[in-house]
Amino acid sequence: MEKPEPTLVVDLINGFRRSKVMFTAVALGIFDRLNDAPKDAAELARQTSANPGALERLLNACAALGLLRKEDGKYSNEPVASAYLRSGSDGTLAGYILYSNSALYPLWQHLEDAVREGTNRWGQAFGKQGSIFDHFFKSDEAKRDFLMGMHGFGSLSSPHVVTAFDLGRYARLVDLGGATGHLAMSACQRYPRLLAAVFDLPSVIGTTREYVKRAGLEDRIKLIAGDFFKDALPEADLFSLGRILHDWPEEKIRLLLRKIYDRLPPHGALLIAERLLNEDKTGPPDALMQTLNMLVCTEGRERTLSEYTALLREAGFENTQSRRIGAPVDAVLATKERTGWQRLSLRPSRRPLTRPSATLSRRERAEKWR
């Protein structure tokens, strides 16, 4: 029998090497240092305190991967590196790369034990226990890398998430666990009449303020410090959860979804941004890699649309829609169609459903919620 081509297996063997080349170049600040002018290996070695010969090997590998251009012995950034690998570029992914290098890469070394035991690997990799955010925020530098990483990925996804459904009928959005505010900012830019708030931990809000100010949206995005599991939620007719639910097990998700449902007015909604698994859970490949990532570093996992729909229905949401949006996440919108007493009523009401805010104009509702 003729053997199949080994290309797939060989590519998988070498995959981690390519990732680590990029991680190392970002960690050394190579792409930042090449922003102004091309440099040779010797100059970059002096600037990074690296061995010249070893650094030249790394630079040549980056050129082979399409991240750098080499001409006359000098290196310069390719456009993709300038856009996503420099720490100062808009929409940079450098923060997520640094977080991947310092946190995820060590955690993934223990994937076998995570599969055997079904638990994350923070204690095994770093000798510390605690919640995932105790590790993400163990230092100001680690916190900034994590938040910058979330902003980079969020900047790729959020503009698509907020256009997946028509959100123009909503007046006030509260993004729970909104990090740098990328989803709230995208929503405000897409819907000029919308007011928004970012609700996140006190240790995060200071960084959020920097990003919101940079976007010039301080007058439309309010910042609220709190813990969405423990504290009362702000008033809103639209809540959003961007890459939040996949961090947690079902019992915590049920608690959070019920809190959101109870806080929403009739016809309010919840916008969810998560990567959806196919119903048979054999794809998409990036979603399956992400669910293993959740295994090694959180209490959660990626889910199918039917699994999210069941959790939402249990919380009270009666209408769930989804969209594949060609981004690192997919979009789900769940609406609160009726109030509790109407759902329990044995006889349908003959009167039209009334809404206390229905007689208010959008401007009046916005002023009310300020």
Of 325, 253, 245, the closest CA to residue 284 belongs to 325
The span from the CA of 172 to the CA of 196, in Å, is 6
Among the listed residues 135, 151, 160, 246, the single catalytic one is 246
Is the separation of the CB atoms in 34 and 77 below 8 Å? yes
**127: DSSP letter:** S
User: Is residue 115 within 8 Å of residue 172, measured between CB atoms?
Assistant: no
Which structure tokens are listed for 289? 């890699």
246 labelled catalytic: yes
Both tokens of 36, joined, read: 């102004």
Burial state string for 296-311 with b = 16 or more CB within 10 A and e = fewer than 16: bbbbbbbbebebbbeb
Full 3-state SS string of 301-360: CCEEHHHHHHHHHHHCCCEEEEECCCCCCEEEEEECCCCHHHHHCCCCCCCCCCCCCCCC
Which residues carry out catalysis?
A: 246
